Amino acid sequence: MDNQTPRKAYPAIDPYETGRLDVGDGHEIYYEVCGNPRCKPVVFLHGGPGSGASPQHRRLFDPDRYRIILLDQRGCGRSTPLGRLEANTTWHLVDDLERLRTALDVERWVLFGGSWGATLALAYAEAYPAHVLAMILRGVFSGRPSELAWFYESGANRLFPDQWENFLAQVPADEQGDIIGAYRKRLTDPDRAVRAAAAAGWTQWESATVMLRSNAVPNGSRSASDSTIAFARIENHYFYHGLWLDGDQLIANADRLADIPGVIVQGRYDIVTPAITSWQLAQAWPRADYRMVEGAGHAFAEPGVLQELLAATDRFAD
């Protein structure tokens, strides 16, 4: 693949169906379907948690060979209420996927997820393996305490000290021993200005680390849109609660994936979700094809990562 002309994502397309699914607890999730309604269904699980799906995600799949399903998970994107934390856990989202599968009359589908989307894909597949045809995972995050500690305590900060300093700036020194907890306090504050400032700091730290080469510079902004606030609130809420996972349960339960083929795509220099997690998952999941991408970080748009993802979606389309 390295000697070939890099592939581009598939052309932009519009959905032929959109809808809102009442999943209970006062939540409605937005979903859309595009591509070929007669072909293999694939569901795209966005990252975050809290970020939402976007039109560029439709372009990862051949629209002539896939029925492409995208959704915004609880509280984010076009789902409502925006930013709501109540009844918003990993297991609520697993149940939501199962409701959506039933509502769309899908018997079995391919799961595609990166980062938190990979976490959710694993949680769903281990709960409902009979409904999964295959999985394509990128930058695997399994929610273990060690993974959160790497990114929010000591690890990534040693590679991005300038950005880390900006991240810490909004938290008093006596609260810096628990960054996730300190940001939770501010992201749930009744004052929108306080929430916005915290959301700006939270998202700037993450955005500075997702690409191998980044143009991001610490700017100390204290403003944020409603969607950015919702993203930061939901992501922090999940991390504060340990994603409602029991330690390393997603990797420990990988035997439940025994009949599911998959591809794992990992950037060698991924700072957000270091390669050790995806490597350990691959050892526990024999049917996974592990693809390490040299010279790449975390984001799906990294050229080498994108090439492997497109190859994987083409592979499972047949």
Residues labelled catalytic: 115, 270, 298
Structure token digits, residue 94? 């697993």
Two tokens, residue 185: 């306090």
Distance of alpha carbon 94 from alpha carbon 124, whole angstroms: 5
Rounded to whole angstroms, the Cα distance separating 228 from 207 reads 12
Query: Helices 145-152 & 179-187, crossing angle to 10 degrees?
Result: 80
DSSP state of 106: -
| Preceding peptide of 81 cis, ω within 30° | yes
Tokens of 317: 């389309």
Q: Point out which residues pair with 40 in neighbouring strands.
A: 66
Instruction: Report residue 179: phi and psi, to 5°.
Output: -65, -45
Interior angle at CA 115, CA 114 and CA 116, nearest 5: 105
User: How far is it, in rounded angstroms, from Cα 36 to Cα 254?
Assistant: 31
Q: Strand 109-114 and strand 66-71: pairing?
A: unpaired
Alpha-carbon span 298 to 273, nearest angstrom: 7
Q: How far apart are CA 112 and CA 60, in angstroms?
A: 10
What's the rounded Cα separation, in Å, for the pair 62 and 68?
9
